[in-house]
Amino acid sequence: MQFSAAQIAVMINGKIEGNADMTVASFGKIEEAVLGQLAFLANPKYEEYLYNTKASIIIINDTQELKQPISATLIRVPDAYTAFATLLDKYQQIQNQQLSGIQQPAYIDATAKIGEQVFIGAFAYIGENAIIANGAKIFSGAYIGNDVIVGENTIIYPGVKIYHRCIIGKNVVIHAGTVIGGDGFGFAPQADGSFKKVPQIGNVIIEDNVEIGSNTTIDRATMGSTLIKEGAKLDNLLQIAHNVEIGNNSIIAAQAGISGSTKIGNNVMIGGQVGIVGHLQIADGSKINAQSGVSKSIKKPNTVVTGSPAFDYTATLRSQAMVRSLPEMEKRIQELEKLVKALLILKE
């Protein structure tokens, strides 16, 4: 597929500088791109490549000033990174639209309902009364359990397992190896020291426009629903426990773990390897630095915390600065002690 600069500018509402008829057929990083590829510049650290890249078309910010002539056609936009992401999304949509039909062998229960323009890859399993809505893509080796609903244009990549009665919204992307709806970790301690399993009879609900990375696990609720709200973005290798709620447009980086019944607010940002204990409330707009351990609720919106146990970010930086100055403070105290002793001797 080839696109001209004029066509691309229409898609991203950009302004062309150069040859509007210039065409590209693929994408490339600005430092590696060749003729016939489209690149972008958003990070000032890569500005040097703007003047020697072989890319045919480059998307740049409106504010980017040119220090020397450029042979490539430029498309100026308010935010080059966002514009480039938009183009990649459209390109991927075109590729996915080409996928349709049911490959064999695949198992589809007679009671399942399959919409139009659906793709089901080989060795996929679609259980009883499952609903696969229009435009959904179920890749090879995926398991869709009984009574599961998969919304329109949702993409389920290879090896994803979605247990019974879970609900997946529209335009959701779930990457390979993720498990949705496994049992929550519920065990009742017994008098003899053993543990009795507490049946997990709830489900998982994933709302529209959510993306979930590879090998993430989202446990079903003991009762009710584990809930991932609209627009949330979850990275690879996460553990989301039973009855957790993740708010709208919140984002969680890899290897974080959220314990049971914790409620994450809207627009929260959680760094990699963060651990959050159960039954907490994390206020809207909170930011939790990587490797933090959160043991208490964050009640004030837009709070930034770091460390283990997690503490106010600014206060933590001040404390760290004080710790770094401790050797100098110790030296000064020792000098003061010597001075005090000398003064006492003189007084005697």
Catalytic residues: 242
Q: Are 205 and 226 in contact (CB under 8 A)?
A: yes
Strand ranges of the sheet holding 225-228, from the earlier edge strand across to the other edge: 113-114, 131-132, 149-150, 167-168, 203-206, 225-228, 245-246, 263-264, 281-282
Angle between helices 313-324 and 326-347 (to 10 degrees): 50
Close Cβ partners of 200 (under 8 Å, ≥ 6 residues apart): 183, 184, 186, 219, 220, 221, 222, 242
